[in-house]
Structure 1
Amino acid sequence: MNGIAISGATNATYEITTVNPGDYSVNATSSGSLGCLGSTSFTVVQSSTCSLQTNTFNESNITMYPNPAKNQVTISLDNTNEIIEKISVVDILGKQVIQLNKVNEVTKSIDLSSLNTGIYFIEIEKQNKLVVKRKLIVN
């Protein structure tokens, strides 16, 4: 922190928890066995203000299958009168790779055939509010 390497932050993942709001810059550097060196930088913003929403449908009413998936995944809302408004598929780097607007259905199948093998996140929205994120494995 403050331009100084964090002791112990040498694994592929490292979780930092802090109570101080502010902007933090992270520089990730990788050195492979073939002498390749790669690095990336990004900013993590932690806000001191938070809000909670209680007017969302229950996560347990959302079914997503199959997972892992190959060419298609189906998302379904069970035992509710709610409908899905928007579905986004986001890759592990945070890039939106699929977006379905105005779904207005209780069950929706998504074509995954254009996606590479990997881990993705499904974001399901209702009335312009993020309701739930689910991890999706595409193989």
Structure 2
Amino acid sequence: MINFIYNDGTGQYSLSKTNSNGLLDANFGNSGIFPIPASINSIPYTLESSSYKTQGSGNVFLLVESNNTNDYEIISYSFSGNLQTINALQTFPTGFNRYDFYPYPAPYTYRIEIKDNYIYLFTPTKIIKYIISNSTLSVSENADKNDLVQFANPFGDQLLLNTNEKIKSIDIYDEGGRLVLRNKSSKNIDTSGLNQGAYFIKVTTESNQIIYRKGIKN
């Protein structure tokens, strides 16, 4: 059993795991307990409403809020306490901000659920489904879904999306998981300011379908 621990004295969040006999599982974290870091890549985070879920017997998923931007992101740790990547990112962006639904009546409840190879994000007004891979926690490259958005790869100073979908936003992340470019609705994105290298491209459609692609800037 995974247990959530909050230390009122330090403000530190931790997780523990007990076996069926009630004793701490020594293979989980540090002798059964591991603290949840207060920051990743020097960016402070706050755990959202004790929202954590497990996947099988190997990973813990946490919904966190960036203290810098109030954006909601998902992070994952192995049961040994090591930070895992989701979609090759250390912090997986959900595309939602704490104040997106303001002035929707409080409380602004966000939580996650894990089922098979899906993460479900529950927001005040909708449910979003993200695809993950059980084995590698990377984007599930579903051919049908990839066909929805095409572009020249590698791309140059312009990223031109070929799609019949109505685009809500495009976010581009570098290999370290940092957001380096955000574009609203346009299918022709100026990428002249990006350095050469690999990037993760998140396309959100007007129907709130989220599509991830990997691209190379040359």
TM (norm. structure 1) is 0.56
Distance in 1 (alpha carbons) for counterparts of 2:201 and 2:91: 23
RMSD: 3.4
Which residue of structure 2 aligns with residue 95 of structure 1?
A: 178
- Aligned residue pair count: 101
Distance in 2 (alpha carbons) for counterparts of 1:43 and 1:62: 23
Gaps of 5+ in 2: 1-26, 32-54, 62-76, 84-89, 93-111, 121-127, 130-143
Shift in Å, 1:58: 4.5
Which residue of structure 1 aligns with residue 149 of structure 2?
A: 62
Gaps of 5+ in 1: 5-17, 28-41
The SS at the match of 2:211 is strand
Distance in 2 (alpha carbons) for counterparts of 1:127 and 1:71: 25
Deviations 1:42-99 (A, max 9, x none): 789x96454475xxx943132112x11221111021xx4x311111111111111111
Distance in 1 (alpha carbons) for counterparts of 2:204 and 2:190: 18
> Residue 112 of structure 1: which of 185, 191, 199 is its match?
191
Aligned pairs for 1:1-139 (under 5 A) are 2=29, 19-20=56-57, 21-22=59-60, 24=77, 25-26=81-82, 48-49=114-115, 50-51=119-120, 53=129, 58-65=145-152, 67-77=153-163, 80=164, 82-101=165-184, 103=185, 108-127=187-206, 129-139=208-218
Structure 1 vs Structure 2: percent identity of aligned residues?
A: 25
The change in CA–CA distance for 1:113 and 1:130 in structure 2 (over 3 A counts) is same
The change in CA–CA distance for 1:74 and 1:58 in structure 2 (over 3 A counts) is same
Which residue of structure 2 aligns with residue 31 of structure 1?
A: none
For 2:203, give the aligned amino acid.
Answer: I
Task: Confirm or deny: 8 A CA contact 2:170 2:183 kept in the other structure.
Answer: yes
The change in CA–CA distance for 1:43 and 1:110 in structure 2 (over 3 A counts) is closer
Shift in Å, 1:122: 1.0
